Structure 1
Amino acid sequence: MSYRIIPDYRIFTDTTADFGPGMLNDLPRIEVIPMEVSVGNDRFLYGPGGNLSVKQFYDMLRAGKFASTSQINPVTYKKAFESALQNGYDILYLGFSSGMSGCFDNAQLNMDELRKTYPERKMFCVDALCASVGESFLIREAAKKQYEGMPIDELAAWIDEYKLKVYHWFTVDTFDHLKQGGRVSVAAAIAGGILNIKPLLHVDNAGRLAVVKKPRGRRLALKEQITHMQEGWLPDISPLVVIGHGDDPEAAAMLKSAVETKFPNAEIHVAEIGPVIGSHTGPGMLALIYWGDNR
């Protein structure tokens, strides 16, 4: 498949975006900026040129280690952006939600400085207000628009218009990593473990991860995810559905089967949840992403 036009701009993102196999097939190249992840006492780089794989990451978490992430530094942003600018490309950065990280602010400040050096180039810094497979979902849809010939300024406006229609529903297997990151209290984590609660989370309109419900057991949590999709799916925008999992392909297969049964027209992709979000949610996370009107 060839491009309908030769893209005159590059789309950038970061390794918070978790892409599944085939999600970007035949679409313009996406530039992915790596991020630092600490696991226990060791520091790694995750993403292009990095030294941490998803499997290695979850093996360490399952061995009892906890992880944290670091913001992308300005030097890394400048190096990535300037490479494209020097080669004559305009740039659009679609970044990790500002509600969860300061990365977006760093990118925006860096882009403001680069505008002084490259005044002839168009540069857009768009806050995805999404994370992980939600972020990759939005980027994939943006890349389709780029492939179809949408100019960079129109695409930036399109993303801003539609990004709050990207619906994230997550369930996690344990409270341990949410507790470690300060997203739930110690008391809530202890009670959740005793009651076998599988908290259901979503990304709100401010781009923050929030606990919505506390179903007991994986099957009930999965049922809640499907119910939310039934109430709000907007396939007219696109039938794309992305299922993400934190080193739990069996649970992902179960959710995929449920989506196929209820929504036979869905175009489903399955992706692993990488270390950036996985640091806060741990192994066993299960995510359902779609276009909807009930965020």
Structure 2
Amino acid sequence: MNVKIITDSACDLTREFLASLDVDVVPIMVYLEGEEYLDGLTLKPEDMLRQMREGKVFKTSQIPPNIFKEKFQQLAQIGNPCIYIAFSSGLSGTYNSALIAREEVLEEFPNFKLEIIDTKCASVGFGLVVYKAAMMAKEGKSYEEIIKNIKFNAQHMEHIFTVDDLEYLYRGGRVSKTAAFVGGILNVKPILHVEDGKLIPIDKVRGRQKAMKRMVEIVKERGVDLENQLIGINHGDDLEGANKLKNLLELELGCKDFLISCIGCAIGAHSGPGTLGVFFLNKITEN
């Protein structure tokens, strides 16, 4: 009996792609002026990002325990061993909601095999962890092998990204209002990464082209065996920018395989249109 993989929409892989991998995805809630939407279901990223460019402000909310409980109960009745791969607990309470639901479901189904893993990853970095686990599940790998792989990839996944407008990070409490204002005037583009599941600024440059070049430099500094890795790229409704970054990575570092995806609503509500990120491993084999 193959392992069933479950994840949430912060992995920024399309529902169609996840369905092709036999991965179940639970949507994160997104709100606009008090109205609730489901990430990727009742609200598409491109529509949200277009509205953000027009000045609309979206907010997000963690998936509540009752949603997870219903999902876990359905899977428990089927009987497959399951792994829920979760969005970083440093950025959302969704992981903790899943833990609460798991305890309640195990009271009803004590023999249900359900592992919940906090990846401390986000967006396509998170998506790469999910993708690799799903491929192992399709190949019939064991429960223990898949869990080991998820934890290793999550621990060694690098997230390097920039945003086009600091205003969105200000709204999310990531930068001060002054920094956002001055940055907008001077065309400053921050370079950020994820450390212990949280967003951390590591550099800033002026202009988008310089930001891309700096991102490639950091990939070179931190990555290993990059020409043989699957490299993730995300974008905030800016496929042209994503392809420019891809071309730079091919030219400068010899990268060959890419997974490119638009950011979902859960991530995009905080990073905004024009976000651009690259995701890769800093270690690809265990000692």
Work out whether the TM-score is over 0.5. yes
Q: Which amino acid in structure 2 is aligned with residue 286 of structure 1?
A: L
SS of the residue 2:277 aligns to = strand
Quote the Cα distance in structure 1 between the aligned partners of 2:103 and 2:194. 28
Which one of the candidate residues 108, 125, 132 is aligned to 1:117? 108
Alpha-carbon distance, 1:219 to partner: 0.9
Pair 1:126 & 2:120 matched: no
Corresponding residue number in structure 2 for 1:96: 87
Pair 1:207 & 2:204 matched: no
Quote the Cα distance in structure 2 between the aligned partners of 1:283 and 1:16. 16
For structure 1, the residue ranges without an aligned partner over 5 or more in a row are: 1-5
Quote the Cα distance in structure 2 between the aligned partners of 1:18 and 1:106. 20
Corresponding residue number in structure 2 for 1:3: none
Pair 1:16 & 2:10 matched: yes
Which one of the candidate residues 26, 34, 37 is aligned to 2:30? 37
**After the TM superposition, which of the residue ranges 34-43 and 88-97 deviates more from structure 2?**
34-43
C-alpha spacing 1:291/1:110, structure 2 compared with 1 (3 Å): same
SS of the residue 2:165 aligns to = coil
Corresponding residue number in structure 2 for 1:262: 252
Contact 1:237-1:291 within 8 A present in 2 as well: no
SS of the residue 1:199 aligns to = strand
Pair 1:247 & 2:237 matched: yes
Alpha-carbon distance, 1:16 to partner: 0.7
Quote the Cα distance in structure 2 between the aligned partners of 1:68 and 1:25. 26
Corresponding residue number in structure 1 for 2:266: 276
SS of the residue 2:189 aligns to = coil
Matches within 5 A, 1:58-207: 58-204=49-195, 206-207=196-197
**After the TM superposition, which of the residue ranges 144-153 and 118-127 deviates more from structure 2?**
144-153
Which one of the candidate residues 221, 224, 229 is aligned to 2:219? 229
Quote the Cα distance in structure 1 between the aligned partners of 2:103 and 2:61. 22
The CA RMSD measured in Å over matched residues stands at 2.0
Contact 1:20-1:269 within 8 A present in 2 as well: no
Contact 2:9-2:28 within 8 A present in 1 as well: yes
Alpha-carbon distance, 1:161 to partner: 2.8
Quote the Cα distance in structure 2 between the aligned partners of 1:128 and 1:118. 25
* Residues 223-263 of structure 1: per-residue CA shift (max 9 Å, x gap): 11111111222338961111100011111111011112123
Contact 1:95-1:103 within 8 A present in 2 as well: yes
Quote the Cα distance in structure 2 between the aligned partners of 1:237 and 1:165. 17
Percent identity at matched positions?
A: 35
SS of the residue 1:182 aligns to = coil
Contact 1:39-1:60 within 8 A present in 2 as well: no
More helix by share: 2
Quote the Cα distance in structure 2 between the aligned partners of 1:220 and 1:236. 21
Quote the Cα distance in structure 2 between the aligned partners of 1:238 and 1:216. 31
